[in-house]
Chain A
Amino acid sequence: MARFESVDDVVTRLRGADYLADTGIAGVVFLADRLEKPVLVEGPAGVGKTELAKATATVTGSRLIRLQCYEGLDESKALYEWNYKKQLLRIQSDREHEASWAEVEADIFSEPFLLTRPLLEAIRAEEPIVLLIDEVDRVEVETEALLLEVLSDFQVSIPELGTIKGHQRPRVFLTSNNTRELSEALKRRCLYLHIDYPDIEREREIVRVRVPEIDEDLAGQVASVVRSVRQLDLKKAPSISETIDWARTLLYLGRHEIDAEVLDETLHVLLKYQSDLARAHKELGADRGPGLTTGTTG
Chain B
Amino acid sequence: MTLRSYNVPGPRPAGVALAEDADMLEVLQGFVHELRLAGLPVSMTENLDAMQAVAHVPISDRAAFRSALAATLVKHHRHQRAFDVLFDVYFSLHGALPADGSGAEAAAEGTGGPPGDGGGAAGELSDEELADLLLAALSSMDRDELRRLAGEAVTRYAGMEPGRPVGGTYYLYRTLRQLDIEGLTARLAALAEASAPTDERDDPLATRIRREEHEQRVRQLRELVEAEIRRRLVADRGVEAMARTLRRPLPEDADFMHASRQEMRELQRAIEPLTRALAARLAQRRRRRHRGQLDFRSTVRHSLSYGGVPAEPKFRHPRPSKPEIMVVADISGSVASFARFTLQFVHAMAGQFSKVRSWVFIDGIDEVTRFFDEADDLTEAVHRVNTDADVVWVDGHSDYGHAFEVFHERHAREVTPKTSLLVLGDARNNYHAPQAWVLEDLRRRGRHVYWLNPEQRGYWDTGDSVIADYAPHCDGVFECRNLRQLQQFVTAVIER
> Knowing that A7-B64, A35-B52, A298-B190 are A-B contacts, what are 19 other residue pairs whose CB atoms are under 8 Å apart, sorted by A's residue number?
A24-B67, A27-B67, A28-B68, A31-B56, A31-B71, A35-B53, A40-B75, A140-B284, A140-B288, A180-B284, A188-B45, A221-B209, A224-B209, A224-B213, A231-B212, A258-B205, A284-B204, A292-B204, A295-B204
For residue B80, CB closer than 8 A to chain A, the reply is yes
User: Which among A181, A189, A192 is the interface contact of B74 at CB below 8 angstroms?
Assistant: A192
The residues of B that contact A181 with a CB separation of less than 8 Å are 277, 281
Query: Is the beta-carbon distance between B56 and A225 smaller than 8 angstroms?
Result: no
Query: Is the beta-carbon distance between A27 and B57 smaller than 8 angstroms?
Result: yes
The residues of B that contact A275 with a CB separation of less than 8 Å are 376-377
Query: Is the beta-carbon distance between A27 and B68 smaller than 8 angstroms?
Result: yes
Query: Is the beta-carbon distance between A178 and B46 smaller than 8 angstroms?
Result: no
Residue among A40, A181, A258 with the most chain B CB within 10 A? Answer: A181
Query: Is the beta-carbon distance between A31 and B204 smaller than 8 angstroms?
Result: no
- A40 and B76 CA atoms in complex are apart in Å by 11
The residues of B that contact A193 with a CB separation of less than 8 Å are 71
- A28 and B53 CA atoms in complex are apart in Å by 10
Question: Contacts A224-B213, A284-B205; is A192 near B67 (CB within 8 Å)?
Answer: no
Query: Is the beta-carbon distance between A294 and B64 smaller than 8 angstroms?
Result: no
Query: Is the beta-carbon distance between B43 and A188 smaller than 8 angstroms?
Result: yes
Q: Could you tell me the distance in whole angstroms from the C-beta of B370 to the nearest C-beta in chain A? A: 17
For residue B249, CB closer than 8 A to chain A, the reply is no
Question: Contacts A31-B57, A233-B379, A298-B189; is A225 near B209 (CB within 8 Å)?
Answer: yes
For residue A246, CB closer than 8 A to chain B, the reply is no
Question: CB within 8 Å of B: which residues of A?
Answer: 7, 23-28, 30-31, 34-35, 37, 39-40, 42, 71, 84-85, 88, 137, 140, 178-181, 184, 187-194, 200, 221, 224-225, 227-228, 231, 233, 235, 258-260, 263, 275, 278-279, 284-286, 292, 294-295, 297-298
User: Which among A30, A260, A278 is the interface contact of B56 at CB below 8 angstroms?
Assistant: A30
For residue B72, CB closer than 8 A to chain A, the reply is yes
Interface residue tally for chain B (C-beta within 8 Å): 51
Residue among B209, B273, B306, B379 with the most chain A CB within 10 A? Answer: B209
Q: Could you tell me the distance in whole angstroms from the C-beta of B373 to the nearest C-beta in chain A? A: 14
Question: Contacts A34-B56, A42-B77; is A225 near B67 (CB within 8 Å)?
Answer: no
For residue B192, CB closer than 8 A to chain A, the reply is yes
Query: Is the beta-carbon distance between B307 and A88 smaller than 8 angstroms?
Result: yes
- A285 and B206 CA atoms in complex are apart in Å by 11
* A–B Cβ pairs within 8 angstroms, 7 of them: A27-B64, A28-B68, A37-B49, A88-B307, A228-B208, A285-B208, A298-B190
Q: Could you tell me the distance in whole angstroms from the C-beta of B196 to the nearest C-beta in chain A? A: 9
- A28 and B69 CA atoms in complex are apart in Å by 9
Residue among A25, A85, A178, A284 with the most chain B CB within 10 A? Answer: A178
Query: Is the beta-carbon distance between A259 and B205 smaller than 8 angstroms?
Result: yes
